[in-house]
Structure 1
Amino acid sequence: MHDALIRPYGGDFLVVILLYCLIKSFSNLRVWTAAIGVLLFSYLVETLQFFHIVNLLGFEKSRIACIIIGTSFTWSDLVAYTLGILVVLAAEGMFNERVNDAKNNTIYS
């Protein structure tokens, strides 16, 4: 896909959501702890791209390493990561609100 929105930003937006779900699937971390951890990890990877970590590690000829780690830093990727985590936090907030409402209705019914 070669467009101006989905290809450059969609993956970055979705990857933090996927990482968050993966972390929460295997750990009992609090929502905020997991979300901030994923966001900081994403920022770290992007910062390493700024310093051309793929080249420094000698992986520039590895297509898989270039795809997974990335090769170019952009500020817009940081915005996409942040927006993805904000969506996670909003979804978790709505889910927890529904769970709490259901618990309250069950107790008083």
Structure 2
Amino acid sequence: MRFHIGYALLTVALLAIELLIALFVRDAIVRPYVGDALAVMLVYAGLRAVTTLRVVPAALVAFGVAVVIEFSQYFHLLDHIGLGGNRWARIILGSGFDPQDFVAYAGGAILVLLVERYRRASRAAAGTRTVSPSSESSSTI
């Protein structure tokens, strides 16, 4: 296990944005699609903050988490476990199945991969060495 402060700060920022969207945005684009793409990025950043998962595996796990949560909505999991009326559970885990959400999740995962590829290319172009997860400047927990 490790702790990477940059990804941890990104996780907190994305969580704040997601909560603001969930609580205050009522539209047909930002809340359902941008919010879903950001959710995948949030899980990705959280994984990278506390694990040694590399970019592609972390992005795949984040996408997988989103897919599992979406299917839990299809099966009304929150209702079955007694949390259907809990506002925070519905904000965090969602409340309605929409197959179009899978596109937003894939978009979030693809955006993560593109940003990470850009970051790596930028470091290489600047003449800095690329950093492996085991040698990144982070604290081991």
Calculate the aligned-residue CA RMSD, in Å. Answer: 1.3
Which structure features the higher share of helix residues?
1
Flag structure 1 segments of 5+ consecutive residues without an equivalent: 105-109
DSSP 3-state at the match of 2:128: helix
The structure 1 segments of at least 4 consecutive aligned residues displaced by more than 3 Å after TM superposition are none
More deviation, 68-77/79-88: 68-77
Structure 1 counterpart SS, 2:52: coil
**Cα offset for 1:19?**
1.4
CA–CA separation in structure 2 for the residues paired with 1:78 and 1:38:
12
Q: Which whole-Å deviations, capped at 9, do the CAs of 1:32-72 have from their partners, x for residues lacking one?
A: 01000000111001011100001111111211111111111
Unmatched 5+ stretches in structure 2: 1-24, 130-141
Match of 1:56 among 64, 76, 80: 80
Deviates more, 1:61-70 or 1:79-88: 61-70
**TM-score, reference length from structure 2:** 0.69
TM-score norm. by structure 1 comes to 0.88
* Aligned twin of 1:73: 97
- Identity among equivalent positions (%) equals 34
Counterparts of 1:57 and 1:29, CA distance in 2:
31
Partner of 1:5: 29
Give the one of 19, 34, 53 matched to 1:29.
53
How many residues matched?
Answer: 104
SS of 1:3 mapped into structure 2: coil
